[in-house]
Structure 1
């Protein structure tokens, strides 16, 4: 993939006009087709190519650029990365020419489809800086080509989505016989009746040598281990987080691979605990630096490959996801990734890629909002990407690939619930409404929490069997851990705002007891989940917010400790936090990112050192009315393979008995991958429905009336 022009391009011959080196915008949508020219005294000079200048046999078959290294082996960059022989034995195939009828068909389709150019390059040797100046043409070709044909050129040009309130009116485009907008110096392409993209015209200066130099440097870093790194990336990352096309991974140079994306893939794969490729930390940092260099050059001229590079770089622990996420969301709007492309005249492959990238960005933005405590950059009112359905499942793939795709889909659905939690309880407006409600703030939160909790319960109940924590434990890495951790983080985020709302001057001890009991059960369940993680989970793919999600469990425990009404309860949480730290420390030997959660817990513990002594249970009982004995325990929905299922915060209106949803919390003896100093069990927690019934009865109202207060 070509990279945006650098700010100070190499000097060109004096005969080349400066207008010829204007940087171009490029995208997956379209751009002016062009022919390469060699500027020499204002004329095109055809230079005969020798053995070193023509492509090798492998690059000729792949129809990719052949860049020969300067080393003694004389092996080209592509063959070096693929680890294959670089030969010049085959004769070139005769070039096919289009007939007049084919040319007419192309021209006829020009206005009815989103289009893009095919492109060639005159670059030969990476160390030598080459430039090329191209001139535009009015002919463009349809996006509806085969993946092998379209993926190369699709990522090379930038088209900007035309917003609905700009000075450009898409309806007027239908009245024009010419797709060119004279005043803008650009042309347009309509993707559907509502959306259009602006494609800059003019002669284009392309720095293809930057791509080739980066690919050359990448090959020098990986030392011919590219195929092994590609395999690690596919097995560890792309199956669970499918943001790169499968056929591209199989033949990256044949698809004109973007060097930034290639460097990001290699950096992630080399740093994986499952990688057998030995690269030094310095080499991995160099790969990351190359990826960011290419990304920064394309910042204002993004392509789909730019988005792919960014969402992969965020997985690196050293990357500031907060800043990078903001940039990527802005790029996504430029490329129209927030739109429904179902009816667009593009290939099925690009349609699915756009959908996966759109949801990958949506998940990234919402989880960045959670872990950084910042407003989300994506609004549900401006997000039209359709949800995944049965038609999105890939037929004919093996079970592991299908399982990874299903995990990705379930993560998108859980993220949508997280978005509801953030929008309902953590906006400035919603928090102010709770403050304005005074002592009724907790009841207001509970009323709003009910539909959210029901959604969480339904999500967990419908989770496919092959995504349960203990399912299919064959010794191979399993990525289900980060999905279940994300679920617990969502539950904890919901409970945190409830606990915060329990003010010290709230005299309703019943309400406080029920809310704290539910929160206690949630904490115990989350800690037991971490205790049951096996090496297969710890060495697998963990989504980038996971290190903070582990820390949130400890933070939630610290919140419950700090707000505990009696000393016995505070001591209970202090003991559990100590056990949790021990578990994290042991697990961090297999998953280094867990060290962040250990450090976060230590920070919280240091703040709790000056916590004043709390009254004992007997002292507290003498001050407050006795809490009634409630008839029902919290009974989370479970199955035989998942004992850390969610307790219901607000049960549906129909009552349920102990075990009606499949059993109680895990008891002593539950199998775990790690053994903590003690085994935890839940104790004496009560359901919200049981409390609501007693609360409503004492005030002479129906249960349903409680939520209408």
Structure 2
């Protein structure tokens, strides 16, 4: 029997450090209503009680106990305290009728393969019987997100699009009510709501961050932070729980990165093992094809993408925790300190890219298929930029200065990064842009734009400044010609303009005011022999168009690894 999706009852993990004492629960249960129900191998309660207003305890593994609460109890409490009205699921269906089945088909064709937080077989089985078997918040969230690909259904293309905003309002209201008796579908609906594109003019960051925190709290409430592999629950629910857990981790890591917040999930309280292919419930034969034969996403590539994103999110979380925590910002200030922490992180990013499955390469396009890998490469570049800028800050602020040879190597590497990220944007094709992109895409674009601007305003030579200005222009141009392909692109452009993009491009660095160490660095760079590095030849000086220099992906993530291994200088990077 399901633990997290049981009809009529919600589950709550009994924390060992909370009000309940584990030993007392075993030796002296508080009345029959609190009796411990030990689950057998199929997840059935040995002392199963489902009568209204009777709470039971369910043991799914040694040391893992859940309190099972009938909805009647939690709903009565919520009604007394909040006077919330239940959402009528028929009202949801009325908004999309008769297009509900087509929208569900679109969802599983395009979104689900790379964001597999639903159990497709269970959802479809219930939906085919009647839409009333799907909880209102999840049904509305699925419909609302699928509307974005309305034109990918041959029949819907000729119909008037349904009211997406109305669906979102209903889903949001219903989720808030469901939080009083949460199930896994509460978190599923919440995550889907968070994936909607953000509007730069009215981005509600406070709601997005606080709602993310609420979902993470609900996940802990439901035990998603624990390893469920040996629990007495159905195998399909084990896989679903693990996928949902990592979806929350991905949401937390990238939310923290783009909002400049601390990660909410601590690795000390995270026991979920890395994802494996057996955690996914579908295979290639289960793919949903479009009726016109095109515009679908590969389930197998979607699995790979989700697993790689989970790996990337753990590195992103470590970058934020080790270099951007309140304590780290106060104590890790010198370049050598940042290097000691940053180099292993950069190496992990490089290894992740080096070992990336070939199907997730940015140039791997298939006829009639959407390419799912665009966001992964974008997020990888953003994480690398966040790592790199921490060292750049340290170099700029170091009162003693840094070794000029090291600084030259570092800035050369950063210039290569800049070319790589602009080249990445230029490589994005309609097959990438039309696929499902996670919520953080627009903000990752802002981070990359700000990284280019930071490199320019800290330039040490006029040549470097001009090259970076050209890269900023090319970055902006590549986004502008793609603005109709993705809502996140408009967010990136609008947000950068609001932050000062035009001013950063117009700003001319004052080289006369550059400190001595940076002047020496500028001289080194000006006198450097041109070795054919694409950093000196990517842009055409005549027409400011980017050339066909190939993207050097390994260089885009490795953090000075090869360069510093060959450089015979002491790890103390202070200037002499």
The answer, yes or no, to whether TM exceeds 0.5 is yes
Please report how far the alpha carbon of residue 374 of structure 1 lies from its aligned counterpart in structure 2 after TM superposition: 0.7
* 1:190 counterpart SS class: strand
Q: Does 1:627 align with 2:514?
A: no
- Whether contact under 8 Å (2:110, 2:436) holds in the other structure is yes
Alpha-carbon distance between aligned partners in 2 of 1:191 and 1:545, rounded to the nearest angstrom: 36
Query: 2:404 matched to 1:514?
Result: no
Superposition pairs of residues 421-570 of structure 1, within 5 angstroms = 421-435=319-333, 441-503=334-396, 505=399, 506=401, 508-570=403-465
SS, match of residue 500 in structure 2: helix
Whether 1:272 and 2:168 are equivalent positions in the alignment is no
Secondary structure of the residue that 1:564 maps to in structure 2?
coil
Aligned to 2:545: 677
State the secondary structure of the residue aligned to 2:345.
helix
Contact 1:478 1:537 in 2 (8 A): yes
Do the aligned partners of 1:521 and 1:682 also contact (CA within 8 Å) in 2?
no
Separation of aligned partners in 1, 2:368 and 2:535: 26
CA contact (8 A) 1:632 1:687 kept: no
User: Which structure 2 segments of 5+ residues have no match?
Assistant: 36-52, 77-83, 199-203, 288-297
TM-score, with structure 2 as normaliser: 0.80
CA drift of 1:622 comes to 11
Contact 1:211 1:258 in 2 (8 A): no
1:202 and 1:391 map into 2 onto residues whose CA distance is 32
Q: CA deviation at 1:620?
A: 8.5
Q: Match for residue 194 of structure 1? A: 63
Q: CA deviation at 1:627?
A: 3.2
1 or 2, which has the higher helix percentage? 2
CA contact (8 A) 1:274 1:539 kept: no
Match of residue 408 from structure 1: 306
Query: Of residues 323, 333, 345 in structure 1, which corresponds to 2:232?
Result: 345
User: Greater Rg, structure 1 or structure 2?
Assistant: 1
How far 1:476 moved relative to its partner?
2.0
Structure 1 residues 520 and 597 mapped into 2: Cα distance closer, same or farther (>3 Å)? Answer: same
SS at match of 2:118: coil
Aligned equivalents of 1:161, 1:359: Cα separation in 2: 18
TM-score by length of 1: 0.66
Task: Provide the residue aligned with 1:214 in structure 2.
Answer: 88
Partner of 1:40: none
Query: Which of 309, 327, 342 is residue 189 of structure 2 equivalent to?
Result: 309
Q: Please list the CA deviations of residues 38-79 of structure 1 after superposition, one character each: whole Å capped at 9, or x if unmatched.
A: xxxxxxxxxxxxxxxxxxxxxxxxxxxxxxxxxxxxxxxxxx
Contact 2:187 2:219 in 1 (8 A): yes
Note the 1:130-209 alignment, pairs <5 A. Answer: 142-143=1-2, 154-176=6-28, 180-181=33-34, 186-200=55-69, 204=73
Count of residues paired in the alignment: 514
Aligned-residue offset at 1:689: 4.3
For 1:361 and 1:540, the matched residues in 2 are separated by 21
Over residues 140-185 of structure 1, what are the superposed CA-to-partner deviations in whole Å (9 max), with x where a residue is unaligned?
Answer: xx44xxxxxx99x615422221112123112333335776339x98
Aligned to 1:8: none
Distance 1:230 1:401 in 2: 16
Partner of 2:171: 291
CA deviations on 1:465-495 (whole Å, 9 max, x unpaired) are 1111111431421111011111111111110
Cα drift, residue 211 of structure 1: 10
Shift of 1:282: 7.1
Specify the SS of the correspondent of 1:536. Answer: helix
Q: 2:212 matched to 1:325?
A: yes
Alpha-carbon separation, structure 1, partners of 2:566 and 2:320 = 29
Cα pair 2:375 2:438 within 8 Å, conserved = yes
Contact between 2:56 and 2:67, CA under 8 Å: does it hold in 1?
yes
Query: Which deviates the most, 611-620 or 296-305?
Result: 611-620
Answer whether contact 2:442 2:488 (CA < 8 A) is retained.
yes
Query: Which whole-Å deviations, capped at 9, do the CAs of 1:394-428 have from their partners, x for residues lacking one?
Result: 57534821221111111101111111111111111
Residue 457 of structure 1, CA deviation: 1.5
Structure 1 gaps of 5+ residues are 1-141, 144-149, 436-440, 636-663, 670-674
User: Aligned equivalents of 2:316 and 2:513: distance in 1?
Assistant: 36
Partner residue, 1:659: none
**Alpha-carbon shift at residue 273 of structure 1 (Å):** 6.0
Alpha-carbon contact 1:633-1:687 (below 8 Å) kept: no
Checking the alignment, whether the CA contact within 8 Å between 2:371 and 2:432 is kept in structure 1 is yes
Distance 1:668 1:598 in 2: 23
Q: 1:547 to 1:396 in 2, by over 3 A?
A: closer
Please tell me whether the aligned partners of residues 583 and 676 of structure 1 are also in contact (alpha carbons under 8 angstroms): no
| Shift in CA distance, 328/394, structure 1 to aligned 2, threshold 3 Å | closer
Query: Residue 192 and residue 363 in structure 1: after superposition, are their counterparts in 2 closer, same or farther (change >3 A)?
Result: same
Higher relative contact order (CA 8 A, sep 6+): 2
**Could you tell me whether the CA contact under 8 Å between 1:185 and 1:200 is conserved in 2?**
yes
**In the alignment, is the contact (CA less than 8 A) between 2:316 and 2:383 conserved in 1?**
yes
